Structure 1
């Protein structure tokens, strides 16, 4: 059976809300919880290798109790987000995405993926930088920065307001605006979840913004975006902040710019 045949059978067997909630749960499990668990396990399974490849020294790493606390926050946030998905179905009568028996074409998946990447980069940068404003940092964003040496589960260790505004909407909105197919959306979500796991893993992987985002957690400022484009444009990457320090416009410490 082809993928199209399987998908047609799924659409004929289950309701749209069952498809969206179950599929989203599977994507979260496969691309967030399992990879996060692997990264969390590395220091226990391979301590010497981990010490060589972690961005920050063992003395700064969180305790097992802190790791479990981050895990429970992730579960809570994901459960509440799923509840919002169900409420959206109940109030609107349909999904924000397209759930049809015909799978999207490769071309459709690719251009929507690029659109999603750029939209999220801009939206997340603006929201994230705003969350570092003194009026918003304490009540909304400080919880996420409890981990100065981030771990994979700390990616979603946040207040529920931040989970919705910073972590969910910048990913959902570009696909909802164009009424994209839910399979196309799931592919993008999976990519973004793997990215945020790597960025928060605390390990040097050579991919994405891992070192930059680890630096953000360590010093509380700069590196607000996901791809580095907006940080480069706005001068909040490492080089931009270095130039500002030389000019006396960048504080040595602080939680916001």
Structure 2
């Protein structure tokens, strides 16, 4: 809750007029508790998870020739029932795990210093904090994800997520409850080390959700804005990890590809992509026609 009763008091404390964004924030948050504002994060996660996969679901249901050009594993077709069951199961985990976690993690949020007051962070400050968050999450997630592919971790926990060998948008957070907690730590690490404003925290969680849904969408659209992000993995990159399945020791990266390149865990993917590109060139010349789904190289 803001320690100001009026806008005038807030401006007097800051020694300047409030910006338009700060005026809006004051009007919205002045009489709301910090805990209530923190709970918005869960609301945003549920809302974005429910809405963002819908275009991919519609594409999956339509499955016209034009759409199938962008389907990474075109031999796989998911029904409405398949996708709804996935959504239902994820929502169950949200209620069972994320809800209670929300209740008990608020003291940690207070302790590390994620603030709700004024002034609001500048766009430049938010950019650098978000960059730190994504780099920390990406590197930590790589090693946590890779550790889940050891025999015990995979058999006991990670195999649930790999039930989808051809992932769909709703399957992004589809996982064992323990995996939700383990990989959730990687997402929380950045805000823990470099705490900022709660708006930055909201934005970070929304961005992470958007990225996870896109990389699990099963579609590789050339007009996606993520195509312009350097070293970004994307849907095709992560789809290969699911495509290979439980024995996959490739493409562990969460967002970027540099960890896989540095530690040599993208060799299978690069080999498969090279073979596929050659087969496609032959197909164009009428010499050969090999489906990408027939190339399980690791």
Query: What secondary structure, in the 3-state scheme, does the structure 2 residue paired with 1:179 have?
Result: coil
Any residues of structure 2 matched to 1:143-162 within 5 Å, and which?
143-162=160-179
Pick closer, same or farther for the CA change 1:27–1:104 going to 2, 3 Å: farther
Give a deviation string over 1:50-88, Cα, whole Å, max 9, x none.
Answer: 222100023x23343331221012212322213211122
Which residue, 43, 51, 57 being the options, matches 1:34? 51
Give a deviation string over 1:94-133, Cα, whole Å, max 9, x none.
Answer: 3752222321112220111111111011111001000000
Task: Say whether 1:170 aligns with 2:186.
Answer: yes
Counterpart in 1 of 2:239?
214
Q: Provide TM-score, normalisation by structure 2.
A: 0.74
Counterpart in 2 of 1:224?
252
| Structure with the larger RCO, 1 or 2 (CA within 8 Å, 6+ apart) | 1
Matched-pair contact (CA < 8 Å) for 2:240–2:269: no
Task: Say whether 1:135 aligns with 2:163.
Answer: no
Which residue, 203, 208, 212 being the options, matches 1:187? 203
Question: Equivalents in 1 of 2:133, 2:179: separation in Å?
Answer: 19
Give unmatched runs, 5+ long, in structure 2.
1-18, 273-295
Which residue, 39, 42, 49 being the options, matches 1:21? 39
Q: CA deviation at 1:24?
A: 3.7
Q: CA deviation at 1:155?
A: 0.6
Pick closer, same or farther for the CA change 1:242–1:92 going to 2, 3 Å: closer
Matched-pair contact (CA < 8 Å) for 1:73–1:158: no
Between Structure 1 and Structure 2, how many residues are aligned?
242
Question: Equivalents in 2 of 1:240, 1:73: separation in Å?
Answer: 30
More helix by proportion, 1 or 2? 1
Counterpart in 2 of 1:120?
137
Matched-pair contact (CA < 8 Å) for 2:44–2:206: no
RMSD over aligned Cα atoms: 2.4
Matched-pair contact (CA < 8 Å) for 2:126–2:200: yes
Matched-pair contact (CA < 8 Å) for 1:77–1:156: no
Give a deviation string over 1:185-238, Cα, whole Å, max 9, x none.
Answer: 222222221111110000012434210100110003210002111001111114
Task: Say whether 1:237 aligns with 2:277.
Answer: no
Q: CA deviation at 1:239?
A: 6.2
Question: Equivalents in 2 of 1:5, 1:28: separation in Å?
Answer: 27
Matched-pair contact (CA < 8 Å) for 2:61–2:79: no
Question: Equivalents in 1 of 2:142, 2:172: separation in Å?
Answer: 15
Counterpart in 2 of 1:66?
82
Q: Provide TM-score, normalisation by structure 1.
A: 0.85
Counterpart in 1 of 2:92?
76
Larger Rg: 2
Question: Equivalents in 2 of 1:33, 1:210: separation in Å?
Answer: 19
Query: What secondary structure, in the 3-state scheme, does the structure 2 residue paired with 1:13 have?
Result: coil
Task: Say whether 1:7 aligns with 2:25.
Answer: yes
Counterpart in 2 of 1:248?
none
